[in-house]
Copies of this chain bind each other. A is one copy, B any other.
């Protein structure tokens, strides 16, 4: 510490939120609040004044919000972010000699002590403040100082000294000469609303053809937009739409050799027809895609692209930039492998190449290209297999010009790697949700995501299925299992998505026992789905998505609380808005095979209920209403009908005419 700081007596530490000592930003969306807390104290018993400083990046001057004292030397303040982009914030505090003096004076007056000298001490403080002020205020402070130090009776000067007017003027012109500022400026990245609240529908465009065996096109997808919008989804995500390689192309069910009609995996990117900036000709033209994107926007849907930075042996990069790949001593390009497994259809990019800067720039160009086509959401394939530094650079660069862009990290890997990707900039992240089935697992995991520092940087995205993941639970549990996982994903996660039509049609046949791969996976072949099947879950999905939209409690995750139920197959949780005007209570029977019943225990006060009046729980799924009283509620759920309640909790409101209704 520098010797010049000898009179800075205030300590600021334990600032939250602050990720890894300020190394990484926190995340918010437009209109959200940033609540800042810190331990702030000084020696002795002097009073403090503490503020949160904040500004949009690029603004030259700070704005200030005062902090209030909580307990145990903890202070709290807040500010609201109103624009996309990056904000900075920090904490400043100083010893408030006037406030200390005023408090001491009050006590001395109360004890009947002679305070004439104290009044002169105060007069000097006010005189100094007048020099920091100007105009009328300076004049008023000089007047007050003169009155305090006048020769009049103490009893006449005391009310002036303790008056609110003086306290407020002094608070406006404090002496900050020895103020302490937290040593780090911290960053908030402000994203669009969809970063926090979105319902994704993933589908293979090539399976959208009207007839079996036909290769679907962008135009076919476009025709499906009304029904996808009607189901309530607002993001439509396509697996890669680029030309697919021929060399070592995989056949149906991932067989090593493709048959003549096999279309190959969309993730095997690159052919003679182009690479990452091109579209697969059988899907249509770039103009078709632009038209689809524009039409989707009309339907309230954003189209999300897949960023899968890997190449087939046929990719133009292999020919034009062999230096971006790892060459083997025999002159061939190193293919992907996980010994003893070989993936000869894929050449990974070599990020340790001497030409890494050109490579980075090219990949940034790919993202910019698709932004130019109207794409603002990217689902990033396996980001954990490319360097962390690359992603931090790429996302920061892109969002500098395009702060509205959303990057979803598709990393199913170790927890610290997943969190690192979120810290360095990914807007949203896939999670372990698909494999969290029991009450204990869900409670532990969701508590970690929502009640720890993780929530400041990691925005979870819940998928009950993906083209890679057909879980054991879905395989074994049939239709009730699909409903259970839908309700859980859609109400536990403000961001959720399904891979359809496999999901709504309850497709649950695995490639083989013990595998999470689908039988006849769309990754390797074109499927035709019976969208009008009577067994489709689309009406239920429509209703769940409408419940989500209509209930702001479900637009965010941080209010999530779990509540005890005396049956481990029943899980119960609530979400609410900050003002408690919207309270949602969910109960799910996790056992897809048997009816379960139990008593749940609710923290009435935290849900805005007073405990002395009955209240209504209104099941938004079935529209049934139940009158409950007290903290214990009884539920019984049969998986063969609907294995879940999504209750809106309605308080009894007494009107002037003594007529009750439920809010």
Contact = CB atoms under 8 A, between A and B. Distances in A.
Interface of A: 1, 3, 5-9, 11, 13-14, 20-23, 39, 41-45, 72-73, 103-105, 107-108, 110-111, 113, 117, 120-121, 124, 149, 178, 183, 328-330, 337-340, 351-352, 356-357, 360, 384-390, 392-393, 414-417, 420
A329 B6 contact: no
A226 B125 CA distance: 58
A124 B329 contact: yes
Contacts of A339: 103-105, 107-108, 111
Determine how many copies of this chain the complex contains. 2
Given A41-B417, A339-B111, A420-B41, A329 B120 contact: yes
Nearest to A39: B416
A165 B7 CA distance: 61
| Among all A-B residue pairs, the 8 with the closest Cβ atoms | A111-B340, A21-B21, A107-B339, A120-B329, A104-B339, A73-B416, A9-B387, A44-B385
Contacts of A7: 351-352, 356, 387
Contacts of A22: 21
A381 B659 CA distance: 68
Nearest to A396: B1
B120 A356 contact: no
B104 A337 contact: yes
Given A39-B416, A351-B7, A393-B3, A340 B110 contact: yes
Contacts of A338: 45
B43 A386 contact: yes
Contact of A9 (B72, B104, B351, B392): B351
B352 A178 contact: yes
A44 B339 CA distance: 13
Contacts of A388: 9, 11, 42-43
Contact of A6 (B13, B21, B357): B357
Contact of A420 (B11, B72, B390): B11
A47 to B, nearest CB: 13
Given A13-B416, A113-B340, 5 more contacts: A13-B20, A14-B416, A110-B340, A124-B329, A178-B352
A20 B536 CA distance: 55
A370 to B, nearest CB: 23
23 contacts: A3-B357, A6-B389, A6-B393, A8-B389, A9-B352, A9-B388, A13-B20, A13-B420, A23-B183, A39-B416, A41-B414, A42-B387, A42-B388, A43-B351, A43-B385, A43-B388, A45-B338, A111-B339, A111-B340, A113-B340, A117-B330, A120-B330, A178-B352
Contacts of A44: 384-385
A73 B9 contact: no
Nearest to A73: B416
B111 A360 contact: no
Contacts of A8: 389
Nearest to A415: B72
A328 B123 CA distance: 12
Nearest to A120: B329
A200 to B, nearest CB: 25
Contacts of A351: 6-7, 9, 43
Nearest to A421: B43
Given A41-B417, A340-B108, A389 B72 contact: no
A448 to B, nearest CB: 13
A1 B393 contact: yes
A387 B43 contact: yes
Nearest to A416: B73
Give the one of A1, A6, A8, A23 with max B CB within 10 A: A6
A330 B114 CA distance: 14
B390 A6 contact: yes
A417 B13 CA distance: 11
A414 B104 CA distance: 21
Contacts of A14: 416
A351 to B, nearest CB: 7
Nearest to A112: B340
Given A72-B416, A117-B328, A329-B117, A392 B111 contact: no
A242 B218 CA distance: 92
A340 B118 CA distance: 13
Nearest to A123: B329
A25 to B, nearest CB: 13
A397 to B, nearest CB: 10
Contacts of A13: 20, 23, 416, 420
A357 B393 CA distance: 46
A362 to B, nearest CB: 14
Contact of A121 (B11, B43, B328, B393): B328
A304 B39 CA distance: 33
A6 B358 CA distance: 11
Nearest to A104: B339
Contacts of A420: 11, 13, 41
Contacts of A337: 104
A337 B44 CA distance: 11
Contacts of A73: 414, 416-417
Given A113-B340, A389-B9, A384 B43 contact: yes
Contacts of A330: 117, 120
